[in-house]
A and B are shown apart, each in its own frame.
Chain A
Amino acid sequence: MSEAATLTKTVELRILRYLPASDESPSFRSFQVPYSDDMSVLQALQTIKDTLDATLSFRWSCRMAVCGSCGMMINGEPRLACNTFLRNLPPGPVTVEALKNFPIERDLVVSVGDFVKKIESIYPYIIPKEPKTVAQGTYLQTPAQLAAYESFSDCINCMLCYAACPQFGENPDFIGPGAMALLQRYNGDSRDGGQQKRLDAIAGEDGVWSCTAVGICSEVCPKHVDPANAINQNKTNSAFDFFLHYLRKDAAQ
């Protein structure tokens, strides 16, 4: 960027700031940033941090919608800052806030502890149907078996679906769309034998049954994971399990 003259246009970013050491509550602060056509909201935030206010805090890493770090509310909608471009936003100031439905740690950084606990609660790993030794070789899978769960494995844990979900907003204990998509990623895997454990984990009111099929989780998902579909499949599974569990021998345990 040689001539400063090419960057005369600016864009205003209204950012919700919160510095726990000095602020009682979050409040908006505006910044003017030199605008260019190829600038993402993340780049605008980086420009602010580099040139205007080094205390501004936000999470980011990959800049290419792979890592899931830079989820935030942009003009009131949960989006990844790295793949939201200023040129696609309506003219006027751009409002940037921390992800909705999560406690703010500082500026645009939210606390993810609860989300991680939910992810951990659904056994997010393959529990082999039949354990094999290395000598017995690898677990084989057909393309159709891979297709059954593959889209659910695209989740990047960006939590946009949690910020969009009104039921999670009402009930922070709701396991939520992201964890349910991950659950389906494993329950749908032909190599996995842990379906019952996972179904038991979501059979409560805060499990799959807090969902009221709003469906906005799938709309805001930047990776087209379709968590609403994962939840619906598991409502069916959990409903059958509700009646079948009376018939199982180990049900009393």
Chain B
Amino acid sequence: MSEAVPVKRSISPIFWLLFGAGGMLSALFGPALILITDVLGPTGTGLPADFESYDHALAFARNPLGKLVLLAVISLFFWHGAERIYLTLKDMKAGPLPVLKLATYGVAAAVTLVTFLLLLAIGF
């Protein structure tokens, strides 16, 4: 049997892995984050009084490990959403593919970059 012609490798795995990682993170931490930051925090239920204070948040964001957590949670959530929205828009034939990619992956990439820079800017 003759060998098949080698197929051109798709770069989709990169986006799919980011999508998968974001999906896993959002499933594990998304509901808890919403509960803490949107319900328990504002109503002051079940949390220490100064839990959401600026100083605490800043200290968390200045910790190297805290920076890593923030970068992963923020950027991967965006990559997850970008993939889903991109594929949906593509199926709906909402526009030329480069435009759709820019509007979805592009946004996720920009958010990742800005988050990274901001985390550096606020210092350690």
Contact = CB atoms under 8 A, between A and B. Distances in A.
A203 B7 contact: yes
Contacts of B53: none
Contacts of A128: none
B13 interface: yes
Interface string B7-27: 111111110110000000000
A243 B17 CA distance: 11
Given A200-B6, A204-B7, A207-B7, A212 B87 contact: yes
Interface stretch (A24-32, A177-185, A234-242): A234-242
Contacts of A205: 8, 10, 12
Contact of B9 (A204, A212, A235): A204
B55 interface: no
> What is the interface residue range for chain B against chain A?
10 to 19
B16 A235 contact: yes
A35 interface: no
The prevalent SS among residues of A at the interface is helix
Interface in A185-214: 200-207, 209, 212
A7 B6 CA distance: 60
> What is the interface residue range for chain A against chain B?
10 to 19
Contact of B10 (A170, A200, A204, A245): A204
B86 to A, nearest CB: 10
A202 to B, nearest CB: 8
A170 B7 contact: no
B91 A201 contact: no
Interface of B: 4, 6-14, 16-17, 87, 91
20 contacts: A121-B4, A170-B91, A201-B7, A202-B7, A203-B9, A204-B7, A204-B9, A205-B10, A205-B12, A206-B7, A207-B10, A209-B10, A209-B12, A212-B87, A212-B91, A235-B13, A239-B16, A242-B11, A242-B13, A245-B9
